[in-house]
Structure 1
Amino acid sequence: MEIGNETIVTQFKLIGFSSTPELQIVFFVAFLIVYLLTIGANLLIMVTIYMDSHLHSPMYFFLSNLSFLDLCLSTVVIPKSLLNFVSQSKTISFNECIVQLFFLHFFGGAECFHLTLMAYDRYVAICSPLHYTTIMSRRSCLQLVVSTWIGGFLHSFTQAFLTVQLPFCGPREINHFFCDVHPVSVLACSSTFINEILVMANNGTIVLGCFLVVFISYLYILFTILKIHSAQGRHKAFSTCASHLLVVILIFGPCVFIYMRPSVTFSMDKMVSMFYTILTPLLNPIIYTLRNEKVKRGMKKVKDRTVCFQWLFIP
């Protein structure tokens, strides 16, 4: 569409990883396998927690919600990428691009808030065990989870609103495999300085704020664990917290690299983005499963009850 001498962009082209047909087939197969495993692993976590009454506690309720967020986050990115790998045009409309950007930050932001909530849950469980059932009541857990979704919505709305206000009349090629704030903003045909400041402020408040809460929570947890006289008790507490800390690092590390800087493109951006949008949703259930005996016992019960999930288990 043309207005005056300017062309208004109505669609973009996602460059992706490579234009070589052979490599695109390799990426298609790899992404498809990862996506199917991600769906299976996260659904298995949710079904296990739902079916096993021994896992009906705040910690596993939060873990189930994390699996749902991981499943949604990977679904925002992978299906469109798979389509582009086998498509010649690799185009995405402007509206579809903004929608993808919105939901990417919606589920990603909600996951950051949710990981912070899980750190708070571990803090209460270890540092104030006598008040745990009172503080983390069923109603409180539901309210806290809803608040993480609201926080994710406000974050994504801010990111999408700031992006959609930019004028796009020049290049249409997004040097990425999905629509995100920085790769799209660099295509704007006007100064994005103010936008970059606002986007970084929004991202910085969330990422650094959440990370600070997690860091302080685990400092208190560490001091409390060191006071536990039982070696078995210390090992159990360390094991539970280590899984969560590893997931926090896998999520917050790439987010700091991608979003805590101006819209400057680096060669490793796609690989880092691929890590937290595609690989981390698969790694999270594996990390929690391998280090959690209750979840593994619950999965064995699901295996005995549900034939359709037996292929996900190692004999």
Structure 2
Amino acid sequence: MEGNNDTVVTEFILLGLSHHPRAQAMLFGVFLVVYLVTLLGNGLMVVLIFVSPLLHNPMYFFLSNLSFLDIFYTTSSVPQMLVNCFSHQPTISFEGCIAQMYVGLFLGIAECFLLAVMAYDRLAAVCSPLHYTLIMSKRLCIQLATISWAAALLLTLIAVVLQPTRFCGHNVINHFSCELQAFLKIACSDTSLNDLLIMTNSIFVLIIPFCFILVTYGRISLAVMRIQSAKGRSKAFSTCGSHIVVVTVFYGSAMSMYLHPQGKISSDRGKMISLFYGAVTPMLNPLIYSLRNKDVKGAFWRLLGKKVSE
């Protein structure tokens, strides 16, 4: 962190919307609602899946992983955003910024892999319903989830090793939180290797899983069209449709952010895009997966009934 003519950076200033106080007040209300809905929705999903035997199947196992992930994903950045909304010059320590950035990166990568795994689960459920329990065994589910988390951790550790070390006194990050792209823009050391890593990781983390999901749902669509029962087709589409919505919002915003070379996307646009995959998608996940899901709604009312009876 310290060179011959460099100033030691001990904290960063997060601009966010600090120059727009009226917008800050409005943003505080939006962030607060988003965060509370995210905590309540995902927390409730984890509890329902844990206590309801009817939800002890592969789809809900992966959904519980996703909900658990989303709780920590938003918690890694949104509380900091809420505090900063009322600060004229919001700051974060160097260590806090680094921790926030890599925790968010780790959880974001893990979500990419988990969404792809969930698509495979839906493929097995729709295309091979008679062999579904054999294909998606408990052992395989645990292995797929473990691989997703482990691969995310490995890719994050590689990014940590290649982290820029010189900032030449530049400590103003034009973002709501410590986002990797915004962080790299203020480094004065050579970041060409970091840019190459981002593009390479984007292929393995975004493009390949997204193409896999597209192919998977193409096969699912063909299988659904062959179902004779209209009720069966409706059930298959409702089960998979929620996953498609989540995938579109999450991957669409993440790819528009990380498939651009550093500096090719404006800071203000980057801030808005990051809100979709960092705050909006974690809020939407439990809402989308539960609103049209009879099993989840049934588990919820049974849980209330138990509480009332007690």
Q: Sort the TM-score into its range (normalised by shorter chain).
A: over 0.9
Displacement after TM superposition at 1:168 (Å): 1.2
1:274 is aligned to 2:275: yes
Aligned to 1:194: 193
What is the aligned residue count?
306
- Provide the rounded CA distance (Å) in 1 between the counterparts of 2:245 and 2:2: 50
Q: What CA distance in whole angstroms lies between the structure 2 residues aligned with 1:49 and 1:256? A: 31
Matching residue of 1:144 = 144
Q: Secondary structure at the match of 1:96?
A: helix
Partner of 1:171: 170
Give the whole-Å Cα distance in 2 for the aligned partners of 1:42 and 1:195: 33
Q: CA deviation at 1:8?
A: 2.7
C-alpha displacement of 1:2 = 6.0
Give 3-state SS (helix, strand or coil) of 2:92's partner.
Answer: strand
2:295 and 2:253 mapped to 1: Cα distance? 30
Change (3 A) 1:171 1:165: closer
Q: Does 1:228 align with 2:227?
A: yes
**Deviations 1:236-289, CA, capped at 9 Å, x for gaps:** 111111110111111100010111111124132111111111111111111111
The aligned amino acid for 2:214 is F
Contact 2:59–2:121 (Cα < 8 Å) also in 1: yes
> For residue 311 of structure 1, what is the aligned residue in structure 2?
none
* Aligned residues of 2:164 and 2:189 also touching (Cα < 8 A): no
Q: Deviations over 1:150-198 (max 9, x none)?
A: 1111122223332x23421142110001112210111111332232112
Give me the whole-angstrom Cα distance separating, in 1, the residues matched to 2:171 and 2:3: 17
CA displacement, residues 133-156 of structure 1 (integer Å, 9 cap, x when unaligned): 112111211111111111111122
Which stretch of structure 1 is more off in the superposition, 281-290 or 190-199? 190-199
The 1-side partners of 2:119 and 2:171 are apart by 42
Q: Which runs of 5+ in 1 are unaligned?
A: 308-315
Alpha-carbon distance in 1 for matches of 2:2, 2:259: 35
Counterparts of 1:176 and 1:146, CA distance in 2: 32
Counterpart AA for 1:195: N
Aligned partner of 1:18 in structure 2 is: 18
CA contact (8 A) 1:170 1:187 kept: no
Q: Map 1:78-97 onto structure 2 (within 5 A).
A: 78-97=78-97
Provide, for residues 102-145 of structure 1, a one-character-per-residue CA deviation record: whole Å limited to 9, x for no partner. 11011111111000000000111111222211121112111111
The one-letter code sitting in structure 2 at the alignment partner of 1:178 is S
For residues 231 and 56 of structure 1, the distance between their equivalents in structure 2, rounded to whole angstroms, comes to: 27
For the residue of structure 2 that corresponds to 1:168, the secondary structure is coil
Amino acid at match of 1:184: F
TM value normalised by structure 2: 0.93
Q: Give the secondary-structure state (helix, strand or coil) at the position aligned to 2:167.
A: coil
183-192 or 110-119: which moved more? 183-192
Superposition misfits of 4+ residues, deviation over 4 angstroms: none
Equivalence for 2:242: 243
| CA–CA separation in structure 2 for the residues paired with 1:94 and 1:204 | 29
How far did 1:291 drift?
1.9
The residue matched to 1:171 in structure 2 has which SS? Answer: coil
Distance 1:20 1:247 in 2: 31
2:2–2:166 contact (8 Å) kept in structure 1: no
Is contact 1:38–1:282 with CA below 8 Å preserved after alignment?
yes
Residue 28 (structure 1) shift: 2.1
- For the residue of structure 2 that corresponds to 1:6, the secondary structure is coil
Q: Which residue of 1 aligns with 2:161?
A: 161
1:313 corresponding residue in structure 2: none
Higher mean Cα deviation, 175-184 or 78-87? 78-87
Query: For residue 171 of structure 2, what is the amino acid of its counterpart?
Result: R
RMSD of aligned Cα (Å): 1.7
Distance 2:240 2:133 in 1: 19
Change (3 A) 1:220 1:2: closer
- Judge conservation of contact 2:34–2:280 (CA < 8 Å) in 1: yes
Map of 1:1-315 to 2, 5 A cutoff? 3-162=3-162, 164-264=163-263, 265-266=265-266, 267-306=268-307
Between 46-55 and 104-113, report the one with greater CA deviation. 46-55
CA shift, 1:59, in A, is 0.7
Unaligned runs of 5+ in 2: none
For the residues of structure 2 that align with 1:260 and 1:97, how far apart are their CA atoms?
A: 23
How far apart, CA to CA, are the structure 1 residues paired with 2:3 and 2:273?
38
Amino acid aligned to 1:248: V
In 2, the alpha carbon distance for the partners of 1:261 and 1:175 equals 17
Q: Mark the CA change 1:240 to 1:226 in structure 2 (over 3 Å): closer, same or farther.
A: same
